[in-house]
Structure 1
Amino acid sequence: MMELAVRKLPVLSFTRIDIKPHKQRRRVSFVSSALPETVASVAIAATVVGAAATILVRRNKAAEAAEVPMKDCESCGGSGICPECKGEGFVLKRLSDESAERARLASKNAATRYTAGLPKKWSYCSKCSSARSCSSCGGRGKIVLL
C-alpha cells in the first residue's frame, strides 16, 4: 500500500486566554494572513484599475458628445479613392469606337489587330492631380455635415 506524505505548512496564530469566573478556561485562537503585503498590493491595484476605468469611460462619453455628424461622400461613394482614375493616378486616353475599329481593320497581323484598339497614351488624372484620393472628401470617404 502506498502512503501519501503531506507536509504541514506553519500558520501564524495568536492565542488569547479568556479567564472568566465560574467558567472553564477557554483558548481562542486567531489566524492571521501569511502574506499581509499581498492583500495590500491587491487592494491598491484594484483601486488603480477602477480609477483608470472611470477615466476611460468619461473620455469616451466626452468624445461621443463632441463627435461631428458626417455622411458618405457622394463622388467616391465612401471609398475615399478618386472616381475618375479609380485610384491609379493616371487616365488612359481612349480612342473612339470608330477609330478603334478602323485601326483594327488596317492592322497587318493578328497581334496588332488585337492591340490596335487599345489606348496607347495616358495622362495624369486631372481631378485628383495624381494623388489617387478623392478630392471632394480628401480621401476620408466622409463629408462633414454643417
Structure 2
Amino acid sequence: MPGAHFKSAFRDASVSRHHDVDPPSSVQSDPHPIPLYLGYDWVGWRNDSLGWAGKPVEMVFEFDTVRNFSAMVLHTNNMYSKDVQVFLQAKVYFSIGGQHFSSEPVQFSYMPDAIMESARDVTIKLHHRIGRYIQVHLYFAMRWIMLSEISFIWGVAERA
C-alpha cells in the first residue's frame, strides 16, 4: 500500500498481510509527533482472514536516510470485549538497503490487559539500532489488532 493514508474510518486491512508504508503520509517519523485525530481512525487486521491463523501482521517502513532508532510507539486498541487486543508480541528487523533484514530482531512481549479496555500507547525500545528500512511483525493476542498511529524516536546515524 505505498502512499496509503491511514486516515479513513476503521477498515479491515486483512486482505493483504504485507503493507509497505511510506512516511510521512501515513506514519509520523518526527521525534516530536503531533497527534492527528487520536482515537478516531483505526486500521485493523483480523487473524482469521485468508488463512492468517498464527501468522503476524507485517509492515515495512522506509525512511529517506539511514537513522539511529531508539524507540517506536504504537497507539493500539484494547477493546477485548470485542475481540480486539494489543498485540501479544512484536519483532522488529532493520535493513540499510531494504533487501536483507537483520537476522536478530528486537523482540518485545506485551502482557495482556483484560481489565482496562482503553486504547493506549505501547513503546518498544529499539536500542539504537541502525537502518533505513524497518520491518515490524505483530502477533495476535485475540481476533483483531487495531492501530491508529505509529511514531518513531530516532537520531542521525553517525558515519563510521
**TM-score under structure 2 length normalisation:** 0.15
Relative to its length, the structure with more helix (as a share) is: 1
Relative to its length, the structure with more strand (as a share) is: 2
* Structure number with higher relative contact order (C-alpha < 8 Å, ≥ 6 residues apart): 2
Q: Which protein shows a greater Rg?
A: 1
**TM-score under structure 1 length normalisation:** 0.16
